[in-house]
Amino acid sequence: MTRQIILKSRPVGIPTLDNFESRSVDIHVVSPGQVRLMAHTMSVDPYLRGRMNDAPSYIPSFQLGEPIVGGGVARIVESKTEGFNVGSYVMGYLPWQEEMVIDTAGLKIVDENLAPLSFYLGILGMPGLTAWFGLTDIGKPQPGETVVISGAAGAVGIVVEQLAKIQGCHVVGIAGSDAKVRYLKDELKFDEVINYKTTSDLEAAIALACPSGVDVYFDNVGGEISDAVIAQINKNARIIICGQISLYNATSQPMGPRIQSVLLKKSALMQGFIVGNYSSRFDEGLKALSQLVGTGKLKYTNTTYHGFERLPEAFIDLFEGKNLGKLIVEL
Amino acid sequence: MTRQIILKSRPVGIPTLDNFESRSVDIHVVSPGQVRLMAHTMSVDPYLRGRMNDAPSYIPSFQLGEPIVGGGVARIVESKTEGFNVGSYVMGYLPWQEEMVIDTAGLKIVDENLAPLSFYLGILGMPGLTAWFGLTDIGKPQPGETVVISGAAGAVGIVVEQLAKIQGCHVVGIAGSDAKVRYLKDELKFDEVINYKTTSDLEAAIALACPSGVDVYFDNVGGEISDAVIAQINKNARIIICGQISLYNATSQPMGPRIQSVLLKKSALMQGFIVGNYSSRFDEGLKALSQLVGTGKLKYTNTTYHGFERLPEAFIDLFEGKNLGKLIVEL
């Protein structure tokens, strides 16, 4: 028997602990092509919120009574697949379950000697690749341009920032606590960081932080923060829609200023994307990120919760912005 | 002495005849590098509305007391520039003035034997190039894809439609009168045309007309029409922001549903542009359009007002959608 966490009811608005339930389930016997895993570190990510709705999105909805599935790193404890040796670690999309038997298709061996295991859920995983492809393929920042990042202290934002600095840009972050602002300024060397929760006039603050206007906006949050940034874009600006966490819990259609007129006046581009669009190029992105991590040019940080049972709490805390960098749960 | 039409006061909301004034002015002597022109056909275009505001946009504002400047075709009646012969016609950005002395830089000789002079303000002019570059460079429609065009019966829309049909697309137009719908269906062979003014449920009408969803949306109007289209885009859709005529007369910030979440879910692109961005490629576009016009593959139509003094009225009528195709004023 092992524990798993299922979706008990669909959240309406902000998720609550009641939406989840822990239960005990049997472990299957390992068949050829499968492994038995012990979960080591699980990832909680904002995009999971969309899967909890019963509405079409870019990935299918979770079913009620079924376990949540998210990114995770786990150790192989039994194997019936060549190349997947007991004691090795794998990453992949795993059910929120302490112990599991799972097909190895879709799993990838990771090397705990090359980087901390948590990195494979962060800078060398989905958030890192999201930052890499969103910024380089859509944003295409040029040296001297101004790059603004919302959700700047999040799992993706902190990578985007460092990549933009390496590219020679003026980089401005928007985050939601003084602790985050300090980290971004002191550790990651953002040029300017704005605490949107304590700034009375966000538009004025952005104007002050971006004296040459905004050339690239990497948007993780949406809503009014984005309104304030988009009002100040330059001609030929690129707006990367990576996330809209401020709206994921909306219970009615969010309304805001119509932005098409700004895009028209500025000949600006706005592009939504998910990292899966680039799956054929993941190796290219991972190679670039690994080199930058290996040479110390990219830093990364996690907020770590301990204990399997804290997965729902960790997920809910994402929407209050309690995390600095990637939020992970270690078992 | 000659007549010119000046901006007397800045419109608030929909422009009125009071915003304009006709006055008599002297004609200058022709200096070297200049010509004296008699206006032949003047263009009225929605984008002029933006220049009547005292607010930054992609081109400078008109000054009060100064003549409106727009696209026009005129005949050379006196010349002090080599290559600009008396009797030839030129096109360019001309003041709303019956007779004028003007620098030849920026003027282009046009051949009335190759195409009707009005074509140089339409399909072989700014609207044609706008359609060409917006559709081919941003929309990139593939055979079998569905292309939706708002403002479908306008100067740009009727070109976009025909280009998309040539490309093998399913083409759906949205227009504002039964006469336009008939013209678009019967003459231009749109696959489906929706009269948004008489359709009770626009979203349902678009869904019916686009059974495979919307791959490319060429937007000339913005507002609620666009909301209904954007709600039905496919993955990897391209939205071309060419105009937002429904909002040009807004007196407060137009609000609407936030669209970033849709762009994110659909990995969709939205790009604003003005034709001037492509000025280095105008010859390429004109060559392609001329060939299609010459071989009869592209049709074009105008709504023609007669008389210089009707320029303000013609301009105002644009916002009521009184034109089918390009709205021009012949002197």
pLDDT (tens digit per residue) in B63-74? 999 999 999 999
Locate B320 and state its tokens.
């009521």
What are the start-end ranges of the H helices in chain A? Answer: 48-51, 126-133, 157-166, 178-182, 202-209, 223-230, 260-265, 282-294, 311-318
Task: Read off the pLDDT of each residue in A281-310 and give the average, rounded to a whole number.
Answer: 94
Task: Read off the pLDDT of each residue in A33-39 and give the average, rounded to a whole number.
Answer: 97
* Residue B60 binned pLDDT confidence (cut-offs 50, 70, 90): confident
pLDDT (tens digit per residue) in B139-197? 999 999 999 999 999 999 999 999 999 999 999 999 999 999 999 999 999 999 999 99
How much is the pLDDT for B285?
A: 96
Q: Are B59 and B86 within 8 A, CB to CB?
A: no
Residues of chain A with CATH 3.90.180.10: 2-122+301-330
* Residue A13 binned pLDDT confidence (cut-offs 50, 70, 90): very high
d(CA A66, CA B302): 62
Q: Which residues contact A310 (CB under 8 A, 6 or more apart)?
A: A329
How much is the pLDDT for A48?
A: 94
**Is B91 exposed, middle or buried (CB count within 10 Å of its CB: 0-12, 13-18, 19+)?**
buried
Task: Read off the pLDDT of each residue in A83-91 and give the average, rounded to a whole number.
Answer: 97
- The share of chain B scoring above pLDDT 70, in percent, equals 99
Task: Read off the pLDDT of each residue in B77-97 and give the average, rounded to a whole number.
Answer: 97
Q: Are A84 and A104 within 8 A, CB to CB?
A: yes
How much is the pLDDT for B27?
A: 94
Contact A256/B at CB under 8 A: yes
**A254 to B261: CB separation less than 8 angstroms, yes or no:** yes
Range in A38-47, A57-66, A193-202, B145-154 the model is least confident about: A57-66
Closest CA to A216 of A274, A122, A143: A143
B148 to chain A, closest Cα gap in Å:
17
B-interface mutation test, from A234, A265, A266, A274, most B Cβ less than 10 A away? A265
Task: Read off the pLDDT of each residue in B308-330 and give the average, rounded to a whole number.
Answer: 95
DSSP assignment of B126-172 equals HHHHHHHHIIIIII---TT-EEEEESTTBTTHHHHHHHHHHTT-EEE
How much is the pLDDT for A60?
A: 84
CA torsion angle A80 A83 A87 A92 (round to 10): -90
pLDDT at residue B281 above 90?
yes
How much is the pLDDT for B59?
A: 76
Task: Read off the pLDDT of each residue in A273-280 and give the average, rounded to a whole number.
Answer: 96
* Residue A175 binned pLDDT confidence (cut-offs 50, 70, 90): very high
Closest CA to A303 of A291, A321, A288, A319: A321
Q: Which A residues in the span 219-238 are in contact with B, Cβ-Cβ below 8 Å?
A: 219, 222-223, 226, 235
Q: Which residues of B touch A253 (CB under 8 A)?
A: 257-258
For CA atoms B192, B193, B196, B200, the dihedral sign is negative
How much is the pLDDT for A318?
A: 94
d(CA B226, CA B285): 27
Closest CA to A304 of A69, A68, A44: A44
pLDDT at residue A57 above 80?
no
Q: Are A146 and A174 within 8 A, CB to CB?
A: no
pLDDT at residue A105 above 80?
yes
* Residue A158 binned pLDDT confidence (cut-offs 50, 70, 90): very high
Mean pLDDT of chain A: 95
For CA atoms B12, B18, B20, B25, the dihedral sign is negative
Closest residue to A260, CB basis, from B241, B255, B265: B241
A293 to chain B, closest Cα gap in Å:
28
The CATH class of the B2-122+301-330 domain is: alpha beta
Q: Which ipTM value was assigned to this complex? A: 0.93
How much is the pLDDT for B9?
A: 97
Q: Are A244 and A214 within 8 A, CB to CB?
A: no
Q: Which residues contact B52 (CB under 8 A, 6 or more apart)?
A: B7, B10, B11, B15, B19, B61, B62
pLDDT at residue B55 above 90?
no
How much is the pLDDT for A55?
A: 79
pLDDT at residue B56 above 90?
no
Closest residue to A267, CB basis, from B257, B265, B274: B274
Q: Are A15 and A48 within 8 A, CB to CB?
A: no
Task: Read off the pLDDT of each residue in B296-300 and give the average, rounded to a whole number.
Answer: 92
Task: Read off the pLDDT of each residue in A90-101 and give the average, rounded to a whole number.
Answer: 97
How much is the pLDDT for A114?
A: 85
d(CA B288, CA B274): 19
Q: Are B196 and A234 within 8 A, CB to CB?
A: no
**B235 to A58: CB separation less than 8 angstroms, yes or no:** yes
d(CA A126, CA A70): 11
Task: Read off the pLDDT of each residue in A76-100 and give the average, rounded to a whole number.
Answer: 97
pLDDT at residue A151 above 90?
yes
Mean pLDDT of chain B: 95
How much is the pLDDT for A186?
A: 95
pLDDT (tens digit per residue) in A199-248? 999 999 999 999 999 999 999 999 999 999 999 999 999 999 999 999 98
How much is the pLDDT for A170?
A: 98
What is the residue whose two structure tokens read 């009269």? B195
Question: Which architecture does CATH list for B126-276?
Answer: 3-Layer(aba) Sandwich (3.40)
Q: Which residues contact B56 (CB under 8 A, 6 or more apart)?
A: none
Contact B272/A at CB under 8 A: yes
Contact A251/B at CB under 8 A: no
Closest residue to B267, CB basis, from A50, A257, A273: A273
B65 to chain A, closest Cα gap in Å:
25
